[in-house]
Structure 1
Amino acid sequence: MTATTRTLSATALVLALGSALSMAAVSTAHAADDMEKCFGIALKGKNDCAAGAGTTCAGTSKTDFQTNAWKLVPKGTCITTTSQTSATGFGQLEAFQAKP
């Protein structure tokens, strides 16, 4: 194998990998457009990210239906998903205070 052939093979591999990563990024961005954050529906340790004070990210919620922990759900379904801590009984699009 000549140096030119190796260079062309390496270049083809880099281009193929770059194309695959670009397609994955576009697919993920499109999926995110069809999803929304829904607070108060995640079970303990099953949140997607940013569960507020005392937590760092995904899987760190301390209780079921934690009011500042969210899950990604299909757009339009959050406010019809059951939440035991919400005053409405359903998930919320923003963090909230638990019902008394």
Structure 2
Amino acid sequence: MTGDFYMRHSLADDTFKYRVDKFKIAMAVQIEYLKSVGVTSLSEILSASPASVSVGRMRIESGNTNAATVGRTMVATEAYNELIYTGLLYKGVDYR
């Protein structure tokens, strides 16, 4: 969701304290969410069956969609909400 921002930049060296604090809170919320739904490894997330399949204009949903996550991701809505005003979710293109 964050475009690997902290894979390319140092969390410890980031001087924007608000962004750092919100990122840490979002990570804690995400870990707690995954723990609460019983996910213990990355392979469990990757092997989960999709909640819906679309082919052309036809869409089939399994009925077990989780409103606690954002879209078809395993990102908890609460974690996503922590990141909204940090700039980490920006999806624009640098045109310079």
TM-score of the aligned structures, taking structure 1 as reference length: 0.28
If asked which structure has higher relative contact order (CA below 8 Å, sep 6+), I would say 2
Structure ranking higher in helix proportion = 2
TM-score (norm 2): 0.29
